[in-house]
A and B are shown apart, each in its own frame.
Chain A
Amino acid sequence: MYNFNYHCPSSLQEAESLYAKSEDPMFLAGGHTLLPTMKQRLNAPTDLIDLAGLTELAGISREGDVLQIGAYTRHADVAASELVQAAIPALAKLARGIGDTQVRNRGTIGGSVANNDPAADYPAALLGLGATVVTTKRAVPADEFFVDMFETVLEEGEIITAVTFPVKGDAEYIKFANPASRYATVGVFINRHNDGVRVAITGAASSVFRCSEYEAALSSSFAESALNGITLRTDNFNEDLHASVDYRAHLCAVIAKRVIASMV
Protein backbone atom coordinates (compact mmCIF):
# COMPACT_ATOMS: atom_id res chain seq x y z
CA MET A 1 0.00 0.00 0.00
CA TYR A 2 1.12 3.52 -0.79
CA ASN A 3 1.99 5.72 2.15
CA PHE A 4 -0.42 8.37 3.42
CA ASN A 5 -0.82 10.91 6.19
CA TYR A 6 -2.44 9.43 9.28
CA HIS A 7 -4.71 11.41 11.59
CA CYS A 8 -6.51 10.31 14.72
CA PRO A 9 -8.91 13.13 15.69
CA SER A 10 -10.61 13.24 19.07
CA SER A 11 -13.84 14.96 17.98
CA LEU A 12 -16.22 14.79 15.04
CA GLN A 13 -15.57 18.45 14.29
CA GLU A 14 -11.84 17.81 14.12
CA ALA A 15 -12.45 14.82 11.84
CA GLU A 16 -14.59 16.93 9.50
CA SER A 17 -12.10 19.76 9.43
CA LEU A 18 -9.20 17.37 8.71
CA TYR A 19 -11.24 15.91 5.86
CA ALA A 20 -11.93 19.34 4.42
CA LYS A 21 -8.24 20.27 4.56
CA SER A 22 -6.84 17.09 3.00
CA GLU A 23 -6.23 16.48 -0.68
CA ASP A 24 -7.81 13.05 -1.18
CA PRO A 25 -8.82 11.78 2.27
CA MET A 26 -10.76 8.75 3.46
CA PHE A 27 -12.22 7.90 6.86
CA LEU A 28 -10.91 4.74 8.53
CA ALA A 29 -13.17 2.66 10.79
CA GLY A 30 -12.38 -1.02 11.37
CA GLY A 31 -10.38 -1.03 8.16
CA HIS A 32 -11.27 -4.55 7.11
CA THR A 33 -12.33 -3.50 3.65
CA LEU A 34 -10.34 -0.31 3.27
CA LEU A 35 -6.89 -1.63 4.24
CA PRO A 36 -7.05 -4.70 1.92
CA THR A 37 -8.17 -2.45 -0.97
CA MET A 38 -5.28 -0.08 -0.21
CA LYS A 39 -2.88 -3.02 -0.40
CA GLN A 40 -4.33 -3.82 -3.82
CA ARG A 41 -4.01 -0.13 -4.72
CA LEU A 42 -7.71 0.04 -5.50
CA ASN A 43 -7.74 2.88 -2.96
CA ALA A 44 -4.83 5.25 -2.45
CA PRO A 45 -5.95 8.09 -0.16
CA THR A 46 -3.50 10.86 0.62
CA ASP A 47 -4.84 11.00 4.17
CA LEU A 48 -6.48 8.46 6.44
CA ILE A 49 -8.64 9.91 9.18
CA ASP A 50 -9.03 7.25 11.87
CA LEU A 51 -12.37 7.44 13.68
CA ALA A 52 -11.22 5.14 16.52
CA GLY A 53 -10.68 8.04 18.90
CA LEU A 54 -14.31 9.16 18.72
CA THR A 55 -15.59 7.16 21.67
CA GLU A 56 -19.05 8.71 21.33
CA LEU A 57 -19.50 6.67 18.13
CA ALA A 58 -19.33 3.30 19.92
CA GLY A 59 -22.02 1.69 22.00
CA ILE A 60 -25.52 0.27 22.01
CA SER A 61 -28.60 1.67 23.73
CA ARG A 62 -32.34 1.20 23.67
CA GLU A 63 -35.05 3.76 24.31
CA GLY A 64 -38.56 2.34 24.10
CA ASP A 65 -38.94 0.73 20.72
CA VAL A 66 -35.78 2.18 19.21
CA LEU A 67 -32.45 0.36 19.31
CA GLN A 68 -29.48 2.59 18.59
CA ILE A 69 -26.09 1.21 17.59
CA GLY A 70 -23.18 3.63 17.36
CA ALA A 71 -21.35 3.62 14.04
CA TYR A 72 -18.04 2.49 15.55
CA THR A 73 -19.61 -0.51 17.30
CA ARG A 74 -17.80 -3.69 16.27
CA HIS A 75 -19.63 -6.74 14.91
CA ALA A 76 -18.44 -8.78 17.91
CA ASP A 77 -20.04 -6.28 20.31
CA VAL A 78 -23.37 -6.34 18.45
CA ALA A 79 -23.30 -10.16 18.40
CA ALA A 80 -22.60 -10.37 22.16
CA SER A 81 -24.95 -7.56 23.22
CA GLU A 82 -27.77 -8.67 25.51
CA LEU A 83 -29.67 -5.53 24.49
CA VAL A 84 -29.56 -6.53 20.82
CA GLN A 85 -30.27 -10.19 21.57
CA ALA A 86 -33.38 -9.20 23.51
CA ALA A 87 -34.62 -6.52 21.10
CA ILE A 88 -33.83 -7.97 17.65
CA PRO A 89 -32.27 -11.45 17.97
CA ALA A 90 -31.97 -11.73 14.17
CA LEU A 91 -29.63 -8.71 14.19
CA ALA A 92 -27.33 -10.29 16.78
CA LYS A 93 -27.33 -13.51 14.77
CA LEU A 94 -26.49 -11.61 11.59
CA ALA A 95 -23.53 -9.90 13.29
CA ARG A 96 -22.31 -13.25 14.63
CA GLY A 97 -22.19 -14.58 11.07
CA ILE A 98 -20.08 -11.83 9.51
CA GLY A 99 -16.64 -12.94 8.32
CA ASP A 100 -14.76 -14.65 11.13
CA THR A 101 -13.80 -13.97 14.76
CA GLN A 102 -10.89 -11.70 13.89
CA VAL A 103 -12.92 -9.71 11.36
CA ARG A 104 -15.76 -9.28 13.87
CA ASN A 105 -13.27 -7.98 16.42
CA ARG A 106 -12.36 -5.06 14.10
CA GLY A 107 -15.16 -4.44 11.61
CA THR A 108 -17.82 -1.86 12.49
CA ILE A 109 -21.46 -1.39 11.54
CA GLY A 110 -20.80 2.14 10.26
CA GLY A 111 -17.96 0.97 8.06
CA SER A 112 -20.02 -1.85 6.59
CA VAL A 113 -23.00 0.40 5.92
CA ALA A 114 -20.90 3.20 4.39
CA ASN A 115 -19.13 0.73 2.11
CA ASN A 116 -22.38 -0.87 0.86
CA ASP A 117 -20.71 -4.00 -0.46
CA PRO A 118 -23.35 -5.78 -2.56
CA ALA A 119 -22.70 -8.98 -0.57
CA ALA A 120 -22.47 -7.46 2.92
CA ASP A 121 -24.85 -8.59 5.67
CA TYR A 122 -25.71 -5.39 7.56
CA PRO A 123 -27.39 -3.57 4.62
CA ALA A 124 -29.98 -6.40 4.56
CA ALA A 125 -30.79 -5.79 8.24
CA LEU A 126 -31.06 -2.01 7.79
CA LEU A 127 -33.34 -2.32 4.80
CA GLY A 128 -35.30 -5.26 6.20
CA LEU A 129 -35.97 -3.53 9.50
CA GLY A 130 -36.55 -0.06 8.08
CA ALA A 131 -33.62 1.41 10.04
CA THR A 132 -32.40 4.99 9.92
CA VAL A 133 -28.80 6.01 9.23
CA VAL A 134 -27.81 8.98 11.38
CA THR A 135 -24.94 11.10 10.08
CA THR A 136 -23.18 14.32 10.97
CA LYS A 137 -25.60 16.09 8.61
CA ARG A 138 -28.97 14.31 8.73
CA ALA A 139 -30.98 11.17 9.37
CA VAL A 140 -31.60 9.04 6.27
CA PRO A 141 -34.11 6.16 6.05
CA ALA A 142 -32.44 2.94 4.88
CA ASP A 143 -34.90 2.89 1.95
CA GLU A 144 -33.12 5.98 0.59
CA PHE A 145 -29.59 5.32 1.85
CA PHE A 146 -28.30 2.49 -0.37
CA VAL A 147 -27.93 3.65 -3.98
CA ASP A 148 -25.98 1.02 -5.91
CA MET A 149 -22.85 -1.14 -5.75
CA PHE A 150 -20.48 0.48 -3.19
CA GLU A 151 -22.58 3.64 -3.46
CA THR A 152 -24.71 5.40 -0.84
CA VAL A 153 -26.20 8.89 -0.47
CA LEU A 154 -23.29 9.88 1.82
CA GLU A 155 -21.70 13.13 0.68
CA GLU A 156 -18.02 14.07 0.83
CA GLY A 157 -16.94 14.41 4.43
CA GLU A 158 -20.22 13.13 5.87
CA ILE A 159 -19.75 10.67 8.74
CA ILE A 160 -22.24 8.04 9.93
CA THR A 161 -22.63 8.42 13.69
CA ALA A 162 -25.25 5.74 14.44
CA VAL A 163 -27.89 3.45 13.06
CA THR A 164 -31.31 3.30 14.73
CA PHE A 165 -33.55 0.26 14.38
CA PRO A 166 -37.28 0.19 15.18
CA VAL A 167 -38.03 -2.75 17.48
CA LYS A 168 -41.23 -4.24 16.11
CA GLY A 169 -42.56 -7.61 15.09
CA ASP A 170 -40.27 -10.55 14.56
CA ALA A 171 -37.42 -10.98 12.15
CA GLU A 172 -35.00 -13.53 10.79
CA TYR A 173 -31.93 -13.53 8.57
CA ILE A 174 -30.39 -16.47 6.74
CA LYS A 175 -27.60 -16.35 4.21
CA PHE A 176 -26.06 -18.79 1.79
CA ALA A 177 -22.51 -17.87 2.70
CA ASN A 178 -19.55 -18.10 0.38
CA PRO A 179 -17.59 -20.84 2.15
CA ALA A 180 -14.28 -18.95 1.95
CA SER A 181 -15.16 -15.30 2.52
CA ARG A 182 -18.45 -15.77 4.44
CA TYR A 183 -19.94 -12.96 2.36
CA ALA A 184 -23.54 -13.61 1.34
CA THR A 185 -23.94 -15.26 -2.04
CA VAL A 186 -27.56 -14.55 -1.23
CA GLY A 187 -28.89 -13.39 2.14
CA VAL A 188 -32.55 -12.76 2.96
CA PHE A 189 -33.79 -10.65 5.88
CA ILE A 190 -37.52 -10.74 6.66
CA ASN A 191 -39.31 -8.56 9.22
CA ARG A 192 -42.98 -9.30 9.93
CA HIS A 193 -45.01 -6.79 11.94
CA ASN A 194 -48.51 -5.32 12.23
CA ASP A 195 -48.07 -2.99 9.26
CA GLY A 196 -46.93 -5.72 6.88
CA VAL A 197 -43.84 -7.61 5.81
CA ARG A 198 -40.46 -6.26 4.72
CA VAL A 199 -38.08 -8.44 2.73
CA ALA A 200 -34.51 -7.32 1.97
CA ILE A 201 -32.11 -9.34 -0.15
CA THR A 202 -28.34 -8.93 -0.21
CA GLY A 203 -25.72 -10.67 -2.34
CA ALA A 204 -28.01 -11.30 -5.29
CA ALA A 205 -27.92 -7.96 -7.10
CA SER A 206 -25.64 -4.93 -7.55
CA SER A 207 -26.97 -3.55 -4.28
CA VAL A 208 -29.16 -4.72 -1.43
CA PHE A 209 -32.84 -4.34 -2.41
CA ARG A 210 -36.36 -4.73 -1.05
CA CYS A 211 -38.18 -7.51 -2.83
CA SER A 212 -41.61 -6.04 -3.53
CA GLU A 213 -42.85 -9.26 -5.16
CA TYR A 214 -42.11 -11.31 -2.03
CA GLU A 215 -43.44 -8.58 0.26
CA ALA A 216 -46.78 -8.47 -1.55
CA ALA A 217 -47.12 -12.25 -1.55
CA LEU A 218 -46.16 -12.63 2.12
CA SER A 219 -48.39 -9.77 3.25
CA SER A 220 -51.44 -11.70 2.06
CA SER A 221 -50.18 -15.13 3.15
CA PHE A 222 -47.11 -15.62 5.33
CA ALA A 223 -46.21 -19.11 4.11
CA GLU A 224 -43.48 -20.69 2.02
CA SER A 225 -46.02 -21.58 -0.66
CA ALA A 226 -46.81 -17.88 -1.17
CA LEU A 227 -43.52 -17.54 -3.05
CA ASN A 228 -44.28 -20.32 -5.53
CA GLY A 229 -44.43 -19.14 -9.13
CA ILE A 230 -42.88 -15.72 -8.46
CA THR A 231 -40.19 -14.80 -10.97
CA LEU A 232 -37.83 -12.03 -9.88
CA ARG A 233 -36.52 -9.40 -12.28
CA THR A 234 -32.83 -10.16 -12.62
CA ASP A 235 -31.56 -7.27 -14.79
CA ASN A 236 -29.08 -6.10 -12.18
CA PHE A 237 -28.26 -9.48 -10.59
CA ASN A 238 -24.62 -10.41 -10.01
CA GLU A 239 -22.83 -13.10 -11.94
CA ASP A 240 -19.36 -14.28 -10.92
CA LEU A 241 -17.34 -17.45 -10.53
CA HIS A 242 -19.32 -18.34 -7.40
CA ALA A 243 -22.84 -18.18 -8.80
CA SER A 244 -24.68 -17.42 -12.05
CA VAL A 245 -27.65 -15.05 -12.30
CA ASP A 246 -30.07 -17.97 -12.51
CA TYR A 247 -28.52 -19.70 -9.52
CA ARG A 248 -28.73 -16.52 -7.45
CA ALA A 249 -32.38 -16.05 -8.44
CA HIS A 250 -33.05 -19.65 -7.42
CA LEU A 251 -31.27 -19.10 -4.11
CA CYS A 252 -33.44 -16.03 -3.36
CA ALA A 253 -36.54 -18.23 -3.26
CA VAL A 254 -34.85 -21.11 -1.43
CA ILE A 255 -33.34 -18.91 1.28
CA ALA A 256 -36.49 -16.79 1.64
CA LYS A 257 -38.51 -19.98 2.19
CA ARG A 258 -36.04 -21.11 4.85
CA VAL A 259 -36.48 -17.77 6.61
CA ILE A 260 -40.26 -18.08 6.45
CA ALA A 261 -40.12 -21.68 7.70
CA SER A 262 -38.10 -20.56 10.73
CA MET A 263 -40.62 -17.79 11.53
CA VAL A 264 -43.98 -19.59 11.25
Chain B
Amino acid sequence: MSIPISMTVNGKQVSKSCPANRTLGQFIREDLGLTGTHVGCDTSQCGACTVHLNGDAVKACTVLAVQAEGAEVTTIEGIGTKDDLHPMQTAFRACHGLQCGFCTPGMIMTGIDLVNTASRDNVELGEAEIREGLKGNYCRCTGYQNIVRAVATAAQQMED
Protein backbone atom coordinates (compact mmCIF):
# COMPACT_ATOMS: atom_id res chain seq x y z
CA MET B 1 0.00 0.00 0.00
CA SER B 2 1.67 3.21 -1.18
CA ILE B 3 0.30 6.41 0.26
CA PRO B 4 0.73 9.95 -1.10
CA ILE B 5 2.08 12.32 1.55
CA SER B 6 2.93 16.01 1.64
CA MET B 7 4.89 17.87 4.27
CA THR B 8 7.22 20.81 4.64
CA VAL B 9 10.83 19.79 5.16
CA ASN B 10 13.30 22.53 6.02
CA GLY B 11 10.92 25.10 4.59
CA LYS B 12 10.37 23.29 1.28
CA GLN B 13 7.12 21.61 0.29
CA VAL B 14 7.65 17.89 -0.37
CA SER B 15 5.10 15.54 -1.98
CA LYS B 16 5.87 11.84 -2.46
CA SER B 17 4.34 8.42 -2.06
CA CYS B 18 5.63 5.84 0.35
CA PRO B 19 4.57 2.57 1.97
CA ALA B 20 2.70 2.85 5.28
CA ASN B 21 5.49 1.11 7.19
CA ARG B 22 8.16 3.63 6.15
CA THR B 23 9.51 5.54 9.15
CA LEU B 24 10.06 9.27 9.00
CA GLY B 25 13.77 8.55 9.47
CA GLN B 26 13.87 6.30 6.38
CA PHE B 27 11.80 8.80 4.43
CA ILE B 28 14.12 11.69 5.26
CA ARG B 29 17.30 9.75 4.52
CA GLU B 30 16.36 7.46 1.65
CA ASP B 31 13.53 9.28 -0.14
CA LEU B 32 14.72 12.85 0.41
CA GLY B 33 18.46 12.13 0.51
CA LEU B 34 18.92 14.18 3.68
CA THR B 35 21.48 11.95 5.36
CA GLY B 36 22.40 14.34 8.16
CA THR B 37 19.74 12.64 10.29
CA HIS B 38 21.41 9.49 11.61
CA VAL B 39 19.55 6.33 12.55
CA GLY B 40 21.47 4.68 15.37
CA CYS B 41 19.55 2.14 17.42
CA ASP B 42 16.27 2.27 15.45
CA THR B 43 14.50 1.44 18.73
CA SER B 44 13.73 4.98 20.01
CA GLN B 45 16.47 4.94 22.59
CA CYS B 46 19.62 6.62 21.27
CA GLY B 47 18.16 9.84 19.87
CA ALA B 48 20.59 10.14 16.93
CA CYS B 49 17.60 10.42 14.57
CA THR B 50 16.05 13.39 16.41
CA VAL B 51 14.32 15.92 14.15
CA HIS B 52 11.75 18.62 14.84
CA LEU B 53 8.14 17.80 14.02
CA ASN B 54 6.02 20.95 14.20
CA GLY B 55 8.75 22.44 16.38
CA ASP B 56 9.07 19.54 18.83
CA ALA B 57 12.05 17.17 19.09
CA VAL B 58 10.98 13.64 18.14
CA LYS B 59 12.78 10.42 17.26
CA ALA B 60 12.30 9.96 13.52
CA CYS B 61 12.75 6.18 13.83
CA THR B 62 9.53 5.99 15.86
CA VAL B 63 7.31 8.21 13.74
CA LEU B 64 5.79 6.89 10.54
CA ALA B 65 6.29 9.08 7.49
CA VAL B 66 2.49 9.04 6.99
CA GLN B 67 2.07 10.47 10.51
CA ALA B 68 3.97 13.55 9.35
CA GLU B 69 1.33 14.33 6.72
CA GLY B 70 0.86 18.11 6.62
CA ALA B 71 3.56 18.68 9.24
CA GLU B 72 6.57 20.95 9.33
CA VAL B 73 9.74 18.93 9.67
CA THR B 74 13.16 20.41 10.40
CA THR B 75 16.32 18.34 10.12
CA ILE B 76 19.93 19.19 10.92
CA GLU B 77 20.26 20.47 7.33
CA GLY B 78 17.54 23.04 7.98
CA ILE B 79 18.87 24.98 10.96
CA GLY B 80 21.86 26.79 9.47
CA THR B 81 24.20 26.96 6.50
CA LYS B 82 27.91 26.27 6.15
CA ASP B 83 28.62 29.98 6.32
CA ASP B 84 25.96 30.82 8.85
CA LEU B 85 25.79 28.07 11.44
CA HIS B 86 23.07 27.90 14.08
CA PRO B 87 24.35 29.03 17.52
CA MET B 88 23.97 25.44 18.74
CA GLN B 89 26.25 24.22 15.94
CA THR B 90 28.78 26.97 16.64
CA ALA B 91 28.77 26.07 20.33
CA PHE B 92 29.33 22.36 19.64
CA ARG B 93 32.33 23.31 17.50
CA ALA B 94 33.69 25.85 19.98
CA CYS B 95 33.28 23.52 22.99
CA HIS B 96 34.45 20.43 21.10
CA GLY B 97 31.11 18.80 21.92
CA LEU B 98 31.74 15.78 19.71
CA GLN B 99 34.25 13.15 18.81
CA CYS B 100 33.04 10.70 16.15
CA GLY B 101 30.07 12.94 15.36
CA PHE B 102 27.45 10.24 14.88
CA CYS B 103 25.17 11.43 17.69
CA THR B 104 25.78 15.12 17.00
CA PRO B 105 22.82 15.91 14.70
CA GLY B 106 20.44 14.44 17.27
CA MET B 107 22.19 16.20 20.15
CA ILE B 108 21.92 19.53 18.34
CA MET B 109 18.24 19.09 17.46
CA THR B 110 17.40 18.07 21.05
CA GLY B 111 19.56 20.90 22.39
CA ILE B 112 17.66 23.48 20.35
CA ASP B 113 14.29 22.08 21.53
CA LEU B 114 15.58 22.16 25.10
CA VAL B 115 16.59 25.82 24.92
CA ASN B 116 13.34 26.82 23.19
CA THR B 117 11.16 24.93 25.70
CA ALA B 118 13.06 26.33 28.69
CA SER B 119 12.64 29.82 27.29
CA ARG B 120 8.89 29.24 26.72
CA ASP B 121 8.39 27.85 30.25
CA ASN B 122 10.70 30.41 31.90
CA VAL B 123 12.99 27.69 33.24
CA GLU B 124 16.62 28.46 33.90
CA LEU B 125 18.83 25.95 32.13
CA GLY B 126 21.46 24.83 34.63
CA GLU B 127 23.72 21.83 34.21
CA ALA B 128 21.18 19.51 35.88
CA GLU B 129 18.37 20.65 33.55
CA ILE B 130 20.59 20.21 30.49
CA ARG B 131 21.65 16.70 31.53
CA GLU B 132 18.02 15.79 32.22
CA GLY B 133 16.96 17.31 28.88
CA LEU B 134 19.52 15.25 26.99
CA LYS B 135 18.39 11.97 28.60
CA GLY B 136 17.06 10.73 25.27
CA ASN B 137 20.36 11.16 23.41
CA TYR B 138 23.29 8.79 23.76
CA CYS B 139 26.91 9.62 23.05
CA ARG B 140 29.37 6.75 23.22
CA CYS B 141 32.54 8.87 22.83
CA THR B 142 32.66 12.05 24.80
CA GLY B 143 31.38 11.35 28.30
CA TYR B 144 28.94 14.23 27.72
CA GLN B 145 30.97 16.95 29.51
CA ASN B 146 31.59 19.07 26.46
CA ILE B 147 28.13 18.40 25.06
CA VAL B 148 26.60 19.85 28.24
CA ARG B 149 28.97 22.84 27.99
CA ALA B 150 28.02 23.35 24.35
CA VAL B 151 24.29 23.43 25.10
CA ALA B 152 24.85 25.84 28.02
CA THR B 153 26.95 28.11 25.78
CA ALA B 154 24.39 28.02 22.98
CA ALA B 155 21.56 28.70 25.45
CA GLN B 156 23.23 31.97 26.44
CA GLN B 157 23.78 32.97 22.82
CA MET B 158 20.23 32.06 21.79
CA GLU B 159 18.89 34.20 24.68
CA ASP B 160 20.90 37.24 23.55
Q: Tell me the complex Cα distance, A8–B71, Å.
A: 14
A144 at the interface (CB under 8 A from B): no
B1-33: contact bitstring with A at CB < 8 Å (1 yes, 0 no)? Answer: 101000000000000000111010000000000
Q: Tell me the complex Cα distance, A105–B50, Å.
A: 11
CB contacts (< 8 Å) of B47 on chain A: these are 100, 102
Q: Tell me the complex Cα distance, A44–B100, Å.
A: 36
Whether A6 pairs with B44 at a CB distance below 8 angstroms is no
Whether A39 pairs with B43 at a CB distance below 8 angstroms is yes
Instruction: Find A35's partner among B19, B53, B62, B110 (CB 8 Å cutoff).
Output: B62
Q: Tell me the complex Cα distance, A28–B62, Å.
A: 12
Whether B69 pairs with A3 at a CB distance below 8 angstroms is no
Whether A32 pairs with B44 at a CB distance below 8 angstroms is yes
> With A3-B19, A48-B20 as given contacts, are A101 and B63 in contact (CB-CB < 8 Å)?
no
B38 at the interface (CB under 8 A from A): no
Enumerate A48-85 residues with CB–CB distance to B below 8 Å. 48, 50, 52, 76, 80
Enumerate A140-189 residues with CB–CB distance to B below 8 Å. 180-182
We find that the number of chain B residues with CB closer than 8 angstroms to chain A is: 32
Enumerate A4-38 residues with CB–CB distance to B below 8 Å. 4-6, 8, 28, 31-32, 35-36, 38
Whether B43 pairs with A182 at a CB distance below 8 angstroms is no
Q: Tell me the complex Cα distance, A4–B20, Å.
A: 6
Whether B136 pairs with A99 at a CB distance below 8 angstroms is yes
B84 at the interface (CB under 8 A from A): no
Instruction: Find A101's partner among B1, B3, B45, B133 (CB 8 Å cutoff).
Output: B133
Whether A106 pairs with B63 at a CB distance below 8 angstroms is yes
CB-CB nearest in chain B for A53: B69
Chain B contact residues: helix, strand, loop or mixed: mixed
Whether A39 pairs with B136 at a CB distance below 8 angstroms is no
CB contacts (< 8 Å) of A102 on chain B: these are 44, 47, 50, 57-59, 110, 136
CB contacts (< 8 Å) of B44 on chain A: these are 32, 35-36, 102-103
Instruction: Find B135's partner among A32, A80, A100, A105 (CB 8 Å cutoff).
Output: A100
CB-CB nearest in chain A for B49: A102
Whether B62 pairs with A31 at a CB distance below 8 angstroms is yes
Instruction: Find B56's partner among A6, A76, A100 (CB 8 Å cutoff).
Output: A76
Most interface-central of A5, A35, A52, A76 (chain B CB within 10 A)? A35
CB-CB nearest in chain B for A2: B21
CB-CB nearest in chain A for B69: A8
B32-65: contact bitstring with A at CB < 8 Å (1 yes, 0 no)? Answer: 0000000000111101001001001111001110
CB contacts (< 8 Å) of A261 on chain B: these are none
Instruction: Find A103's partner among B69, B117, B136 (CB 8 Å cutoff).
Output: B136
CB contacts (< 8 Å) of B155 on chain A: these are none
How close is A255's CB to chain B, nearest CB, in angstroms? 19
> With A6-B64, A31-B64, A180-B45 as given contacts, are A106 and B20 in contact (CB-CB < 8 Å)?
no
Known: A35-B62, A36-B43. 9 other contacts (CB 8 A): A8-B69, A32-B62, A76-B56, A102-B44, A102-B110, A102-B136, A106-B59, A106-B62, A181-B45
- 10 closest A-B pairs by beta carbon, nearest first, are A100-B136, A6-B20, A105-B56, A100-B135, A3-B21, A102-B59, A102-B136, A1-B21, A35-B62, A6-B66
